[in-house]
Structure 1
Amino acid sequence: MKTPENANEKFAEFIAKKKFVEENFYPGIADEKMRPIFTEKINEIATDFKTVAKSEKPTDKKYQEKIGIGLSRFAKIYLELDTEDRERVCTYIEELMDIVELESSNGQLNKFMYGFDPNELIKEK
């Protein structure tokens, strides 16, 4: 896997932007006092991705591991996240995936969002 040349710049832009604000169909964070906590957790995932991108041999698996670690950071506050906030977390991670051209979270975003991976149900049939 090759890291795009402008990835560092895009990570910096991503980390700098204000998160969990009203945009498109997202109404903004449900509980305003949680914004800095959620933002910090998302930015940690971006920093983890940046570390993988700078490494000798970035791989899909390494990025997917960082997604898993990042999502696990939300475990203690998972109940603070309403549906829209969980969707927003997933959207931010998808933005990071786009920066490094990672095509799959390996079902992790679905598990985070819905508690299971719908693709697993398809495989069972």
Structure 2
Amino acid sequence: MGGELVEKLNFFITKNKFSDSEWLKRGLNPSDDNLCNTMNSIFNDCAKSLIIEVQKEFNPKVIKSILKNYLLKFDKKIYDTEEREFICDYFEELSKIVNVKFNNELNSWLYGSLLNELIKFTSLFKSSEKVIETLSQQCTKCKTELNTIILEKQDDIPDSCYNIIKCKSCGEFNLIEKGPKVKNFRYENYELIEELNKEDFSREQAEIRLKQIQYFRK
């Protein structure tokens, strides 16, 4: 367990978390280079502290304390809304790696404690997302559960494609299939890289394409 966590945290450190391409994925213009370097450095230090802790023992209270201490290193007054949301997304990613609930702390930092309490209160009255089915497949490298959350089905939708995806925990590329009838869904723990139409690709050809991506995008 500890070895897998360390591997995921090391991968997190190696990522260029605030590169121009990462900003563009969010539909945003990149922030100032110095600011991005500072944010990247804080996150790397946080991940290194988490590695030290998980190598000693796994104490959720200590892990959460480390996350909170590094969150407070970000003075939210100097960041705009998009930057603050970006920061929270990466803390959420770290919290999922170490399997610690950190949403309340993130909401308090992002919105303030009073608004966070209001969010928690009003969420009790909101209807929860209706999940019909969860398709799970382990990452071939780090064994993270790569989940496809099925929200809506429709009988006349065919099983039309293979999906090449990228694990958010370790960066490994994997091949998955959603199957037929899937109309509405969302990803969990991965991002979509390519869709391969089954009219053009057999399973064997899809696996060859996966190997090409694994080799050329290392």
TM-score normalised over the length of structure 1: 0.79
Distance 1:109 1:29, change over 3 A: farther
Code of the aligned partner of 1:89: I
- Residue 96 of structure 1 corresponds to 94
Question: d(CA) in 2 for partners of 1:27 and 1:116?
Answer: 27
| Structure 1, unpaired ranges of 5+ | none
- The structure showing larger relative contact order (alpha-carbon pairs under 8 Å, at least 6 residues apart) is 1
In structure 2, which of residues 58, 77, 80 is the aligned counterpart of residue 79 of structure 1? 77
- Residue 54 of structure 1 corresponds to 55
- Residue 41 of structure 1 corresponds to 42
Code of the aligned partner of 2:73: R
Map 1:105-120 → 2, pairs under 5 A: 105=102, 107-116=104-113, 118=115, 120=117
More helix by share: 1
Question: d(CA) in 2 for partners of 1:5 and 1:73?
Answer: 27
| Structure 2, unpaired ranges of 5+ | 125-218
Q: CA deviation digits over 1:41-96, x for unaligned, max 9?
A: 1111111221221123x222111111111011113xx2221111111111111111
Task: Report if the CA contact (8 A) 2:108-2:116 is conserved.
Answer: no
Bigger CA radius of gyration: 2
Q: Counterpart of 1:35 in 2: which secondary structure?
A: helix
Question: d(CA) in 2 for partners of 1:101 and 1:23?
Answer: 28
Identity %: 29
Question: d(CA) in 2 for partners of 1:46 and 1:117?
Answer: 29
Distance 1:82 1:66, change over 3 A: same
More strand by share: 2
Task: Report if the CA contact (8 A) 2:18-2:36 is conserved.
Answer: yes
Q: CA deviation digits over 1:14-37, x for unaligned, max 9?
A: 001101232532525432321111
Q: Counterpart of 2:25 in 1: which secondary structure?
A: coil
TM-score normalised over the length of structure 2: 0.48
What RMSD over aligned residues (CA atoms) do the two structures have, in Å? 2.3
Q: State the shift of 1:4 in Å.
A: 5.0
Question: d(CA) in 2 for partners of 1:74 and 1:119?
Answer: 18
Question: d(CA) in 2 for partners of 1:117 and 1:93?
Answer: 21
Distance 1:5 1:41, change over 3 A: same
